[in-house]
Amino acid sequence: MSRIFFHSLISNSLNPNHLSQTHAQIIINGLQNDLIIATKLTQKLSDFGLIHQARLLVPTISQPDIFLYNVLIRGLSHNKSPSSALSLYTHLRLNTNLKPDNFTYAFVISSVSSLNIDKPGKILHAHSIIDGFGSDMFVGSTLIDFYLKFSHIWIAHKVFDQILNPDTVSWNTIISGLVKNCCFDESIRVFEEMGMSGNRFDSSTLAAILPAVAELQDLNTGKKIQCMVIKRGFHYHGFVLTGLVSLYSKCRDVSTARLLFEQIGRPDLISWNAMISGYSSNGETECAVELFRNLVATGARVTSSTIVGLIPVFSPFGNLHLSHSIHGLSIKCGICSNTSVSTALTTVYSRLNEIESARRLFDESPKKSLESWNAMISGYVQNGLTEVAISLFQQMQLSEVRPSPVTITSILSACAQLGALTLGKWVHELIVRENFQSNIYVSTALIDMYAKCGSIKEAQQLFDTMMEKNVVSWNAMISGYGLHGLGREALRVYDEMLQKGFSPSAVTFLSVLYACSHSGLVSEGERVFQSMEHHGVKPAPEHFACMVDLLGRAGKLEQALQFINEMPVDPGPAEWGSLLGACMIHKNTNLAQVASDNLFRLDADNVGYHVLLSNIYTADQNYPAAAVVRQAVRKKKLAKTPGCTLIELGETLHTFTSGDRSHPQSAAIYAKLEKLTAKMREAGFRAGTEMALHDVEEEEKEQMVNVHSEKLAIAFGLINSEPGTEIRIIKNLRVCLDCHNATKFISKITERVIVVRDANRFHHFKDGVCSCGDYW
């Protein structure tokens, strides 16, 4: 029997048993050393998953060639044996006279990309350069895919630039890899470069880029791509149409998405899933459920992706019962343990504030994927449980699960909320180690973290070094300056943003108006507000409230009232609340009564407004009126948010409340505070007791304000830090006048810089002066 006969027999083997019989006949006929037959047999064994037998076969060949080794390395890769593939490559280099070719490197690099470490791949990259394949298109494409799997975006770009004539596959690889790394803007830029280079894109290119456009909700770009789809004749490719369905769904045009879905001749399950998810993500849960029923009626077997699309993650409120029903269905179908299903359910429960149910699902998940960790960490951050989020992130690190840019942005948000600068800096170091610096979302989250932790200079330095910026990046920097009362700088960045051609969003305007409000820039704020509609942004209630705050803080109370009365929409609690706050600053009881009457009509159970009005009366020495307000609070059983202050020492956060004596260093803190108070009095400080209860002695009033939480935190910081070092604290409420004045004196006496973040903004105290200029 000839070689051709056995070659054909191997190719047509239908199962491992047929292949074993053929192998036996090959040995009987003395062709076991025939290189071509051995290579084909190795390939077929690999295809049947019999990789162990394939490995045993190759060493029996007396004179193997590089092609045989390549077939086995590729087989090991496809059979998820990366360590064995790497071992075989090492054997090839050290124990044979054969030289690896471009296919060898492509197959072995592809294999090691599934390992948890990137070192082997980097060594193989170096070997490929030494062997002359540094600009090889086939090796280059595999290296790009490898580096992007490890989120080494910058290196992937460098590899791509080294390919002399990248083909469509190379372009597709870098585009799809960038999309998987959430580098959506960058992927579109590369797609545009591909078009300008003259390379013809195929349907895979379009399927790769459409998710990026969808995530950015850039319908204009999406329509341009759709035109390309039609021109190139790809409009009836099912997976391209499915990509367009997702695009229009994410751009809130569900009707067009449905029309496109109906154009798919025979929609596969992926297409059904895309349309179900499209309805669900746009809050059309009834349509999603109806389409799901239609799918089931076709007899199709639903998958985990179907269930994930049905879960109302994007419109959770009011859908707790539906979420429970889907949870029950997923248990019946035996797919609840699927990581994508459990992750989606964890997310929806977190958004419904069912955080215990979310954690139970997370704990019960047998295999916790990166997405599972991200969902649970993000859920804690969204629910304000930042310390728990950080603790879970540390557990994730111990579990040796590599974080992704999504993980990093969530944990940076937690650091920003807590003001945990030390932890934030550690995360920054982790970002550098993981090479995430080029990720625009990570860089933006870093800017936000540094700004909210009081390090505005570091935020600015990061912003200046960003290679690519989007609107969110500009907003983070503008908002950061606003938090620190640096209105002029915020306006400068805003003007620069416009000059660079970026379109401001509603958040941009809110950030600019906030910055103007906290810097007394009334005319500038009015100019920005009036320009909103010119930029296609309709003012929302928060913008109106910011304008009231801007006018009110500047003492233009009558103008603020006029602005409210002339609003094109009915004023709500935000606008009247801003006016009441301004009345507190400028001690205007008449307008305070007007504002509070409207507030109590709109939001009668908001204790903050009652406390603010009571304080206004107290400051005006109208104690009977203040007592009436307090009595109303007691009758309604409303609870005032207790003031508390955080200070970070090392990586530990210490919390203080007013009059707190629970801290282990309590005795030393109060002793320090007593010494400070004595020195402050000598320097001319007098306690601000206007807001203290009127029916107690003056000395007792002083004692009440002397033990406010921020003073205790500052005293603790002075005890536990080196002389001359900066002290940073965070207050959950607006800092009171007495504590503000006291902190100015403390900064001068101790020669310390003290940074305070209260509910409104940052205060930088130095040499007895505050950066806010007493304007907060």
Task: Summarize pLDDT for 53-72 with one digit per residue, the tens.
Answer: 888 877 888 888 999 889 99
**Cα–Cα distance measured from residue 146 to residue 114, given in angstroms and rounded to the nearest whole number:** 9
- pLDDT score recorded for residue 640: 62
Q: How far apart are CA 768 and CA 641, in angstroms?
A: 30
Average pLDDT rounded to a whole number, residues 352-366: 91
The confidence score (pLDDT) of residue 66 equals: 92
Residues 515, 481 contacting (CB under 8 angstroms): yes
User: pTM of the predicted model, to two decimals?
Assistant: 0.68
Q: Are 205 and 171 in contact (CB under 8 A)?
A: yes
| Alpha-carbon gap, residue 765 to 763, rounded angstroms | 6
β 762-766/754-757 pair status: antiparallel
Q: Does residue 722 carry a pLDDT above 70? A: yes
Chain segment 399-416, per-residue pLDDT in tens: 888 898 999 999 999 999
Condensed to tens digits (0 to 9), the pLDDT of residues 292-315 reads 999 989 888 888 999 999 999 888
Token look-up 């690099």 returns: 109
* Contact (Cβ atoms closer than 8 angstroms) between residue 769 and residue 722: no
As given in the structure block, the two tokens for residue 110 are: 């592809």
380: Cα separation from own chain's centroid: 13
Among candidates 378, 377, 325, 318, which has minimal Cα distance to 352?
A: 318
The alpha carbon of 580 is separated from its chain's Cα centroid by a whole number of angstroms, namely 35
Q: Which element (helix H / strand E) includes 644?
A: strand 644-649
Q: Output the average pLDDT for the chain.
A: 88
Residue 346 has pLDDT above 90, yes or no: yes
In this predicted structure, what is the pLDDT of residue 598? Answer: 87
Which tokens sit at 459? 């935020």
Is residue 313 a contact partner of residue 347, using CB atoms and an 8 Å limit?
yes
Average pLDDT over residues 482-501: 94
Q: What is the pLDDT of residue 235?
A: 80
**Helix H or strand E segment including 754:** strand 754-757
The rounded distance, in Å, linking the Cα atoms of 757 and 731 is 6
Where does residue 200 fall: left (phi above 0), alpha (psi -120 to 50 degrees), or beta otherwise? beta
What is the pLDDT, as a whole number, of residue 275?
Answer: 95
Q: Model confidence at 40, in pLDDT bands (50, 70, 90)? A: confident
Q: Is the sign of the CA dihedral 81, 85, 86, 90 positive or negative?
A: positive
**Structural domain spans, the chain:** 644-770
pLDDT score recorded for residue 39: 85
Tell me the three state secondary structure of residue 506.
Answer: helix
pLDDT at 659 over 50: yes
Which amino acid appears at position 42 of this protein? Answer: T
SS3 539: coil
Over the stretch 248-259, which tens digit does the pLDDT of each residue have? 999 999 999 999
Query: In Å, how far are 74, 183, 392, 669 from 136, measured between CA atoms?
Result: 18, 25, 43, 67
* CA distance linking residue 730 with residue 715, whole number of Å: 14
Task: Give the pairing type, strands 652-657 and 727-731.
Answer: unpaired
Query: CA 714 from chain center: how many Å?
Result: 32
Distance (Å, rounded) from C-alpha 759 to C-alpha 732? Answer: 5
| Both structure tokens of 761 | 């903004």
Say whether pLDDT at 610 is over 80: no
Contacts of 505 (CB under 8 A, 6+ apart): 471, 475, 537
Q: In the chain, what percentage of residues exceed pLDDT 90?
A: 52
Round to whole Å and give the CA distance between 126 and 560: 67
- Classify the phi-psi angles of 646: left when phi > 0, otherwise alpha if psi is within -120 to 50, otherwise beta: beta
184 and 212 Cβ atoms separated by less than 8 Å:
yes
Question: How confident is residue 548, by pLDDT bands cut at 50, 70 and 90?
Answer: very high
Task: Indicate the pLDDT class of residue 127, thresholds 50, 70 and 90.
Answer: very high
DSSP classification of residue 15: S
Is 460:477 a contact under the CB 8 Å cutoff?
A: yes
What confidence tens digit (pLDDT) does each residue in 512-528 have?
Answer: 999 999 888 999 999 99
If you search the block for the tokens 């599934």, which residue do you land on?
A: 114
Three-state secondary structure along 669-705? Answer: HHHHHHHHHHHHHHCCCCCCCCCCCCCCCHHHHHHHH
Check residue 3 and give its pLDDT: 67
What is the rounded distance in angstroms from the CA atom of residue 561 to the CA atom of residue 540? 18
Better-scored residue on pLDDT, 494 or 165: 494
pLDDT value of residue 736: 82
